[in-house]
Amino acid sequence: MAVDELDTRILRLLLEQPRTSVREYARILGVARGTLQARLDRLERDGVITGTGPSLSAAALGHPVLAFVHIEVTQGRLDDVGDALAAVPEIVEAFSIAGGGDLLTRVVARDNAHLEDVIQTVISLPGVVRTRTEVALRERVAHRLLPLVESVGRAARN
């Protein structure tokens, strides 16, 4: 999907001012509200905008420990294990990967003992062969998309 300069400006505003109204976005951008709404609808339909909910902090919810758990799975059991992982609330993301292991999960926990309990839950799932855990010490670059949006916008202008 092609993202033009106006799309880039819209996305930047959504990221920088997520609680602003569509009317206010249109005023800031100097476009008609209908134009803005049509652009937002297209960006959602094309999968560029995937959600509008708030960003939540697992640490503020009492789960300050963050770990990445690599999971090796028995051949033919990837879907089963993926479905079982979805039932573990401390697993906040899971991805199929190429390389070392079959799945990579982002896990949050209250403390190290709780992390161990979560890992033991994962290890006990049918189809899980082994795990490897890496504990995050400090976030160095927070999840962000604005630099990518700006890069795409620059490329669209050229």
Higher-pLDDT residue of 3 and 65 is 65
**pLDDT score of 158 more than 80:** no
Find the mean pLDDT for residues 27-37.
96
Higher-pLDDT residue of 16 and 92 is 92
d(CA 67, CA 26): 41
Find the mean pLDDT for residues 5-13.
93
Buried b (16+ CB within 10 A) or exposed e, 49-80: beeeeeeeebeeeebebbbebbbebeeebeee
Residue type, 2: A
Q: Where along the chain do its domains lie?
A: 5-54, 58-136
- Domain 5-54: give its CATH code: 1.10.10.10
CATH class of 58-136: alpha beta
Find the mean pLDDT for residues 4-8.
92
- Beta carbons within 10 angstroms of residue 133's beta carbon: 16
pLDDT of residue 1: 61
Residue pLDDT, tens place only, 39-70: 999 999 999 999 888 888 999 999 999 999 99
Residue pLDDT, tens place only, 68-105: 999 999 999 999 999 999 999 999 999 999 988 999 99
> Mean pLDDT lowest for which of 36-50, 102-116, 142-156?
142-156
3-state secondary structure 24-68: HHHHHHCCCHHHHHHHHHHHHHCCCCCCCCCCCCCCCCCCCEEEE
